[in-house]
Structure 1
Amino acid sequence: MTTTAALRRRYTNDSVTTASPGQLVVLLYNRLVKDLTLALVGLERRDVEGAHRALRHAQEIVSELSCSLDLDVWPEGEGLLALYDYVQDRLVQANATKSAALVAEVVDLVEPLRDAFTQVAATAEAS
C-alpha cells in the first residue's frame, strides 16, 4: 500500500471513529448516494457486475440505517422505517432487473433525507 493510500485510509478511519452519531448518519447517506450514482453509471455502461456491487452495498447501508432506528426513543421513526423498507425493496428489484429507473427513484427519495440529516447534524454541532 502506498503512503498516500495508507494516509487516506487512516484519515477515513479517524473520521468515522471520531464522528458523532448524527455525523455517522450523514456519512452513511453520503455513501448511499455515491453507491446509487455508481450503480446508475454502471447500468448506463452495461457494467452489470459494477452495478450489482454498488446496489448490494447500497442495500447494506439501508439495512444499517434501518437497524439503527430506535423506535423506543423516537416512536415517530415508524414512517422512516417504512420508507427504508420501501427503498430496500426498490433496490432489490433494481438489482434483479438492472433498472436505472428504479435506482433513480431511490435517489429521488434518499437525497432529500440526506440533506435533512445534514442540516440536523450541523445544527446539533453548532449548539
Structure 2
Amino acid sequence: MAANLAAQNAYKQNSVTTASPGELTLMLYNGCLKFLGKAKTAITEKNIQEKNTNIQKAQAIISELMATLNMDIPVSKNMLSLYEFMNHRLVEANMKNDAAIIEEVEGFVTEFRDTWKEVIRINRQQQFGSGNNGQA
C-alpha cells in the first residue's frame, strides 16, 4: 500500500514537472473543480471544516491563475475581473454554506477549462500538424 502511494506521488510529481505551461493551467482548472466538488459535498454533509478547507484550496488555485496572467494581453484584464468575481463568490459561499454559489463558480471554471483544453488542442494541431502542410 505504501509503495503504491509512493508510486502515485512520484507519477503526480513527474506529471507536474514535465507538463507544459498550458498543461499546468489545465491541471489548475481541474484541481479547482475537484475542490469545488468536495466543498459542495461537505455542505451537503454539514461538514463545515471540510467545506472551508476545500473552498480555500479552490481560492488558492484561482489566486494562482490570477498571478499567472500576462497583463500585457488585453483579455487578461477581463480574466482578472472574472477571477476576482469568482473568489468573491466563494467567500460568500463559504459564509452562507451555499452550494448554489459554488455551482455558479463551477460553471465559470468548467467553461475556462474547456476553452483552455481547446486552445491546447489547436496549438498542438498547429505545432505538430498533419505533416502535409495542411493539404488533404
- When normalised by structure 2's length, the TM-score is 0.89
Q: Partner residue of 2:76?
A: 77
Q: What is the alpha-carbon distance in structure 1 between the residues aligned to residue 22 and residue 123 of structure 2? A: 8
Q: What is the alpha-carbon distance in structure 2 between the residues aligned to residue 4 and residue 94 of structure 1? A: 36
Q: Partner residue of 1:97?
A: 96
Q: What is the alpha-carbon distance in structure 2 between the residues aligned to residue 33 and residue 118 of structure 1? A: 14
Please report the RMSD computed on the Cα atoms of aligned residues, expressed in angstroms: 1.1
Q: Partner residue of 2:117?
A: 118
Q: Partner residue of 2:133?
A: none
Q: What is the alpha-carbon distance in structure 2 between the residues aligned to residue 111 and residue 76 of structure 1? A: 18
Q: What is the alpha-carbon distance in structure 2 between the residues aligned to residue 57 and residue 21 of structure 1? A: 20
Q: Partner residue of 1:31?
A: 31
Structure with higher Rg: it is 2
Structure 1 counterpart of 2:76, one-letter code: G
Q: What is the alpha-carbon distance in structure 2 between the residues aligned to residue 123 and residue 33 of structure 1? A: 23
| Larger RCO (CA under 8 A, 6+ residues apart) | 1
- Once the two structures are TM-superposed, the CA of residue 75 in structure 1 deviates from its matched residue by 2.2
Q: What is the alpha-carbon distance in structure 2 between the residues aligned to residue 92 and residue 62 of structure 1? A: 12
Q: Partner residue of 1:47?
A: 47
Identity %: 34
1:27-64 Cα offsets, whole Å, 9 max, x none, are: 00000011111011110111111111110000000000
Structure 1 counterpart of 2:3, one-letter code: T
Q: Which runs of 4+ in 1 moved over 4 A?
A: none
1:61-108 Cα offsets, whole Å, 9 max, x none, are: 000000100112x12211111000000100111112211111111011
